[in-house]
Structure 1
């Protein structure tokens, strides 16, 4: 059974909210806001699948709300349908130019609003499916590098508002070139798939992301995760890969396939480029390799260090 879409209804008249909710609640989850400011805060919290937005509201009107929604990377892809009693063509054109996908005229016709919402929800689901394919690694089914960068950007920005910790894990399959030379590329692909599956099982929370960074290198984004927790996950990944007991005659670290792991944790703050976490974790991965591989290295980075890390990376 498919998940019910979440509709955010924004209107300063409670009677309009009740009418729209009655028309849509059988098929969708409904949340509502009675002002533009409340709508933006709620939208960032629940990430709705569609927003029904009144044009004429006191304070911040619907046009201003739509403009801010489309300027927010987190919300830009959410379709907005304006609800308005305005019948002027100029008003409709203005809304469409700001990024709205449709208009519903007041007084509301339940049949029409249901049909239009259904059509736009279906189109959004199709776009989401295509977007998911674009950020999925074909070999492993994990997120690809683009998905990793998107998640890192999103989480670093979100956590900066509450100055929470973000941890990143980078790991590399040890002596993978020698593995391919010894066993062939088909076996190499199979090894990557097995390591990816192990990584996916070790990173369990819904907010966490496991991704294939490129080649034999993988990464994990761990929001709201302390350094101690991230190190425990990293050691678990290392142990799980070793327990696969994939023979590796070309390795000097162990007779089986192993991984080297780097962990970086820092408190998020405005102005720190998310790339800093990748650079910091990659430096720790380098240390793990330098100390014999099949090893985990990591540390906590201060805010000033993260800013310097980005300056060096740039």
Structure 2
């Protein structure tokens, strides 16, 4: 999580934004929006840590903004505090049932705003830390299958707005069962940790995600990366694993540990099915193994097409 929390203030009255900004800017980074539609756009690009949301706005009101945010996989975990002068219990209950975590009454008290925001930001920080543990593989320190599924769904949703590509890499340590049988499970764990480190060094951007997909299988999600670039990353992974020089006398491919890699790339367009990336990349991994292992094979595909089971 970022060192300073990012707070998005949404209000059609600039004076209210100024009051909240002055109250919060010493501890947090503040961004703002003056309409509901703008709030959704800014939230999707900024991914704030907390949203202070005015209820009564012309056009898209705060309730509708809350509904949109809570139905968006990219934003659904962002806490929302409503700011309102309504002051009636029915309005508060409605907002809380829609997913808001708290209310601030207008006129805003800077002292109360600071305390409420500080508490909710700290609670979110703790939730994020627990969530990070839940999606981390203990052996390698990479993400786990849950992290992969969450990141893939979020990236496809985000990139669909621009139609940008997304690439997925799946790799498998060749003849790993034989490695475990020959050298023991402790050596097998060390091997997987070293392969994971090589994989992590090969990915280029903070938005790229590397995970241990299961057993000796790993995967990478590469948002906004075209096919040729993804193939280049896959080749770097293969070469980095070779440079580890981990002995593997039981391999039919080489006297050292090698990996087989499948790559799948598609544009993120409306109707794209996130699971298709994994299925296509897995089919390419199968081809890489069938071609003699220690290979990289990839393809582009239409993410909206119906794939055979």
Which bin holds the TM-score, normalised by the shorter protein? over 0.9
Q: Secondary structure at the match of 2:240?
A: helix
Cα offset, 1:72, TM superposition: 1.4
Where do residues 50-199 of structure 1 align in structure 2 (5 Å cutoff)? Answer: 50-199=50-199
Unaligned runs of 5+ in 2: none
Tell me, in whole angstroms, the C-alpha distance in 2 between the residues paired with 1:93 and 1:162.
36
Higher alpha-carbon deviation: 118-127 or 63-72: 63-72
Tell me, in whole angstroms, the C-alpha distance in 1 between the residues paired with 2:89 and 2:301.
55
Q: After TM superposition, what 4+ stretches of structure 1 lie above 4 angstroms from structure 2?
A: none
Cα offset, 1:191, TM superposition: 0.3
Tell me, in whole angstroms, the C-alpha distance in 2 between the residues paired with 1:73 and 1:282.
25
Q: Look up the match of 2:281.
A: 281
Higher alpha-carbon deviation: 161-170 or 238-247: 161-170
Higher alpha-carbon deviation: 174-183 or 84-93: 84-93
* TM-score normalised over the length of structure 1: 0.96
Aligned length: 309
Tell me, in whole angstroms, the C-alpha distance in 2 between the residues paired with 1:214 and 1:37.
41
> Can you list the C-alpha shifts for 1:20-56, whole angstroms capped at 9, x where unaligned?
0000001100000111111111111101100111111
> Can you list the C-alpha shifts for 1:76-114, whole angstroms capped at 9, x where unaligned?
111111111122111111111111111111111111100
The root-mean-square deviation of aligned C-alpha atoms, in Å, is 1.3
Higher alpha-carbon deviation: 67-76 or 126-135: 67-76
Q: Does 1:301 align with 2:298?
A: no
* TM-score normalised over the length of structure 2: 0.97
Q: Secondary structure at the match of 2:188?
A: helix
Q: Look up the match of 1:247.
A: 247
Unaligned runs of 5+ in 1: none
Tell me, in whole angstroms, the C-alpha distance in 1 between the residues paired with 2:96 and 2:226.
44
Contact 2:143 2:209 in 1 (8 A): yes
Contact 2:74 2:157 in 1 (8 A): no
Q: Secondary structure at the match of 1:308?
A: coil
Structure 1 residues 58 and 302, CA gap change in structure 2 (3 angstroms):
closer
Cα offset, 1:302, TM superposition: 3.8
Tell me, in whole angstroms, the C-alpha distance in 2 between the residues paired with 1:234 and 1:278.
15
Tell me, in whole angstroms, the C-alpha distance in 2 between the residues paired with 1:218 and 1:262.
11
Q: Look up the match of 2:265.
A: 265
Q: Secondary structure at the match of 1:307?
A: coil
Tell me, in whole angstroms, the C-alpha distance in 2 between the residues paired with 1:94 and 1:264.
44
Cα offset, 1:272, TM superposition: 2.1
Higher alpha-carbon deviation: 152-161 or 41-50: 152-161
Tell me, in whole angstroms, the C-alpha distance in 2 between the residues paired with 1:65 and 1:24.
22
Contact 2:73 2:157 in 1 (8 A): no
Tell me, in whole angstroms, the C-alpha distance in 2 between the residues paired with 1:102 and 1:268.
35
Contact 2:74 2:158 in 1 (8 A): no
Tell me, in whole angstroms, the C-alpha distance in 2 between the residues paired with 1:110 and 1:86.
19
